[in-house]
Copies of this chain bind each other. A is one copy, B any other.
Amino acid sequence: MVRAKSWTLRKHFEGFPKTSDFELKEVELPKLKDGDVLFESVFLSVDPYMRPYSRRLMKEGDRMIGSQVARAVESKNPTYPVGTYVVANSGWTTHFISDGKDLQLLPPWPEKIPRSLALGTIGMPGLTAYFGLLEICKIRAGDTVLVTAAAGAVGSVVGQIAKIGGCKVVGCAGSDKKVAYLKQIGFDEAFNYKTVGSLEEALRKASPDGYDCYFDNVGGEFSSIVLNQMKKFGRIAVCGAISGYNDTVPQKGPYVQIPMIWNELSMEGFIVSRWNDRREEALKILLRWVVEGKIKCEEHVTEGFEKMPAAFMGLLKGENIGKAIIKV
C-alpha cells in the first residue's frame, strides 16, 4: 500500500506566498486497475507560472499544479513497464497513479545528462525559450536580443539559443553572481538591474543602437523602459511578468501605444503549449545542443519534498541560478 504526500493550496495567495498558504496532505493510493501505472516523482519542478495560474486554475484545497520527472514503480500498462521514466503534470506529489494518458516519455537519454533537465532546458522552459525566440522574436543573425530574468530557467536558454543563432545577447539579472554566470555562459553584455542605478542608461550602454528583440520575462516598469529602446520593427515576446505576479493591486505604467506606433513594434504574449505539435522535434534539438555543449545548464536543486513551498518562494524571490528543481 503506497501513501502519497501532496502539497495543496490551503489558502489562495494574497501578495507574496506564505508558508501557511500550503498544506501537506497524505493519502493512501488505491490498487492499480488494468491499464494503470504507479509512478514515484524523482524530480519536481517549481516555476513562476504557478503563481498566476494558482488563482485561475485552482481552488483552495486543490493539489498544487506542476510537473515532475517520475519513474514507474508498479505497472499494469505495457506502454509503461516498471522503470520507465516520464514527464507528467501531476502536481506537487510524491506518488501518483496514471492511466497512461497525458504522459510524455523521455526521449533516449544519454547517461551523462541528468534526467532533471527534462523539467528544464530539455523540457518546458527550454521549449519556451526555443519557440519564443524563433516564432515570436523571429531572431535573425546580427540581431541584438535582450532578455530579462536572464539567469533563470528560461532566460539562460534564451541567451544561449540567441548566441547559436548569431545574435548579440544582453541579459539582466538581480545579483552580481547571476551576472557573472551570464558572462560565463556566453552573454555579450549583462548587468545587475538592482544595483545599476539608471536602467535606462544601463540598457543604452549595453546596446547604444537599441534592441531588435526583447524576450520579456518580467513585465512592469523594466519593460516600459525597454519599449523606448526598441529598434524600428522590433519584436517583443511576452513570456512572463514575474515583477507583477505578487501585486495585490495591478500596477500601472505609461501607455504603450505611442512607442509601439513610432517604431512599428510588435508585441506578442505566448504560452508554450501553442507548439505542442512540434514538441518532439524541438526537444531533440535542445538535447543535441546540450550534448554538444552549446547550451550549458545550471540547476538550483532543493533536496526533500517537504521543502517544496520554500523552494517555490525562493524562486519567486529570485534565489535560483538556472532551473529550480526539487529532488524527492
A residues within 8 Å of B by Cβ?
52, 56, 216, 219-220, 223-224, 238-241, 244, 250-271, 274
Min CB distance, A131 to chain B, in Å?
Answer: 12
Chain A contact surface mostly? mixed
Given contacts A264-B274, A274-B264, contact A269 B254 (CB under 8 A): no
Which chain B residues lie closer than 8 Å to A264 at the CB level? 268-271, 274
Q: How many copies of this chain are found per oligomer? A: 2
Query: In the complex, which residues of chain B have a beta carbon less than 8 angstroms from the beta carbon of A255?
Result: 219-220, 223-224, 241, 244, 250-253
A261 with B239, Cβ < 8 A, contacts A250-B255, A254-B252, A255-B252 known? yes
Known A244-B257, A261-B239; judge A267-B266 contact (CB<8 A): yes
Q: What's the Cα separation between A139 and B173 when bound, in Å?
A: 39
Most buried by B among A250, A257, A266, A267: A257
- A268: B residues at CB distance < 8 A: 260, 264-267
Contact partner of A261 among B241, B259, B261, B266, CB < 8 A?
A: B241
CB<8 Å pairs between A and B, sample of 27:
A219-B257, A220-B257, A223-B257, A224-B255, A238-B261, A240-B257, A241-B255, A244-B255, A244-B257, A244-B258, A250-B254, A250-B255, A251-B255, A252-B252, A253-B255, A256-B256, A260-B269, A261-B269, A261-B270, A261-B271, A265-B268, A266-B266, A266-B267, A266-B268, A266-B269, A267-B267, A267-B268
Beta-carbon contact of B257 and A262 below 8 Å: no
| Distance A239 CA – B99 CA, assembled complex (angstroms) | 51
